[in-house]
Structure 1
Amino acid sequence: MGRRETALQAAHSRLRELIGSEFRVGDKLPNERDLADRLEVSRATVREVLGQLAGEGVVTRTWGIGTFVHDGVERVPVSIGDVTALRDRITASGHRPTLQDAAVSRAKCPPGCAEVLGVEPDSPVWRVDRLFAVDGVPAAWIRDHLPLRFDGRDLDPSGLLSIDLDMFEFLASATGMPVRRAEIELVAVLADEEATARLDVPLGHPLVTATQIGYGAGDVALFHGHFTVRTDVLTLRISRGGQPEPAR
């Protein structure tokens, strides 16, 4: 065994011991320079060891955010390449989805949402808030805005208070127009106070948020949504080849 391999093994063992003795699940580790100083090794060695620990599931690394102690919970893969209910995606992965909290209310339409839905800013729309859990762990908080009426039909989204009805099923039934295409924009963020309360994570916990717009035939916008995902519970997978559409 060469000296380099021996040094890497030693650094690997020392860093695992450090994590186990001084940090808890969800804690952010010091940066590579500080770890290198503490372990008395080079930053390149620290970087390589962190990569090994990430592969072992000891830590999770998010580019531009940092390295965090992993809880060992299995992540549930969720594809956002198909228009399929989030409920069904979780079930297909062998896990149990639940709706921990849900609310439907009338609210003022935010400006960006109003432009998409073709209504005046601050005009009344439906707001649907849902908190999905995987095996009892909060995983995804979704807030959707829908018009009160569509093509002369009054919309009643109260059925979305149950996990038995998903957004795509509701829209297809209520509007007579299924969601055919969706646009989604993903952003990596750190948990703020509202996300902390909703998803039961500490302030600064790495999350992924997304803005999503669902379109029916003729590119008519049916809903404007925003969801926030715990990537330590759900793994988002994007499939290329067709027009990307999100899981809900």
Structure 2
Amino acid sequence: MARRETALQTAHGRLRGLIGSEFRSGDKLPNERDLADRLEVSRATVREVLGQLVAEGVVTRTWGIGTFVHDSAERVPVSIGDVTALRDRITASGHRPTLQDAAVSRAKCPADCAKLLGLEPDSTVWRVDRLFAVDGVAAAWIRDHLPLRFDGRDLDPSGLVSIDLDMFEFLASATGMPVRRAEIELTAVLADEESTARLGVAAGHPLITGTQIGYGTDDAALFHGHITVRTDVLTLRISRGGDPSPAR
């Protein structure tokens, strides 16, 4: 029994060392067979050690998907129940938001948003790509589309490449119409090639993606976007209360 415990402790230490030297937070580990070969132990031993590491919070295991290195940093809770800038939600949680990457370009309007924005299929729209980081760690990738003009006004979203300007602030200033309501539909997904490149996670890493629509006065759609979130960095929280005060 003592020999078995020693073998488990040795395998435990070697696997923790392997994780610390060769893998980053969010990376997917090799399968049990490969780990057993590298550590020169049985698959049963690897399975038992991985169970210990799950209990210790070093890794997370998802049935049918794999084992991932857990992010030891504190997850940042952000509310999605109100119309507030993501930047401000992160700041309110006591953390530092930054833009790791941002770009504004003209592009063809995707089919799922052309009708919503009242545009012809394949119309040219503004596309705004922003990669938000929390305390230096990539956390959310947002791609928004908005019309070139709204209610006779030309829109110029180039200022959105700065963390100092948020989409809600920009639209209120540029259109004279604040975003009164935002709808978001969330789906659990696994990281694809583009998500891995943007967010720095391994292929197959669990993520949350959402489609967001911002509405102004009289339910006029102002923008249509997609957000992809690393839930090992951010947690999404929905708060529901009683009768809200009327918008002013």
TM-score grouping bracket, smaller chain normalisation: 0.7 to 0.9
Q: Which residue of 2 aligns with 1:6?
A: none
Give distance in 2, aligned partners of 1:202 and 1:242: 41
Cα 1:189–1:13, aligned 2, differ >3 Å: closer, same or farther?
Answer: farther
Give distance in 2, aligned partners of 1:211 and 1:62: 25
Q: Which residue of 2 aligns with 1:189?
A: 189
Q: Which residue of 2 aligns with 1:20?
A: 16
Counterpart residue identity of residue 28, structure 2? D
- Unpaired segments ≥5 residues, structure 2: 37-42, 244-248
Count of residue pairs brought into register by the alignment: 226
1:155-178 CA distance string (max 9 Å, x none): 111111111010111111111111
What are the residue-to-residue correspondences of 1:150-169 with 2, within 5 Å? 150-169=150-169
Deviates more, 1:181-190 or 1:158-167: 181-190
Q: Which residue of 1 aligns with 2:124?
A: 124
Give distance in 2, aligned partners of 1:169 and 1:18: 51
Cα 1:13–1:117, aligned 2, differ >3 Å: closer, same or farther?
Answer: farther
Deviates more, 1:233-242 or 1:110-119: 233-242
Deviates more, 1:219-228 or 1:202-211: 202-211
Q: Which residue of 2 aligns with 1:224?
A: 224
Q: Which residue of 2 aligns with 1:178?
A: 178
Give distance in 1, aligned partners of 2:61 and 2:77: 17
TM-score, normalising length from structure 2? 0.78
Give distance in 2, aligned partners of 1:197 and 1:183: 27
Say which SS state the counterpart of residue 187 (structure 2) adopts.
strand
1:88 CA drift (Å)? 1.0
Cα 1:213–1:242, aligned 2, differ >3 Å: closer, same or farther?
Answer: farther
Counterpart residue identity of residue 104, structure 1? V
Q: Which residue of 2 aligns with 1:246?
A: none
**RMSD between aligned alpha carbons?**
3.1
Q: Which residue of 2 aligns with 1:38?
A: 44
Q: Which residue of 2 aligns with 1:77?
A: 77
Given that residues 29 and 69 in structure 1 are in contact (C-alpha distance below 8 angstroms), is that contact kept between their aligned partners in structure 2?
no
1:30 CA drift (Å)? 5.4
TM-score, normalising length from structure 1? 0.78
Say which SS state the counterpart of residue 117 (structure 1) adopts.
coil
Q: Which residue of 1 aligns with 2:40?
A: none
Q: Which residue of 2 aligns with 1:108?
A: 108
1:82-128 CA distance string (max 9 Å, x none): 21111111111221111111111111001111011110110111100
Give distance in 2, aligned partners of 1:116 and 1:19: 51
Cα 1:177–1:72, aligned 2, differ >3 Å: closer, same or farther?
Answer: same
Identity of aligned residues (%): 75
- Unpaired segments ≥5 residues, structure 1: 1-8, 244-248
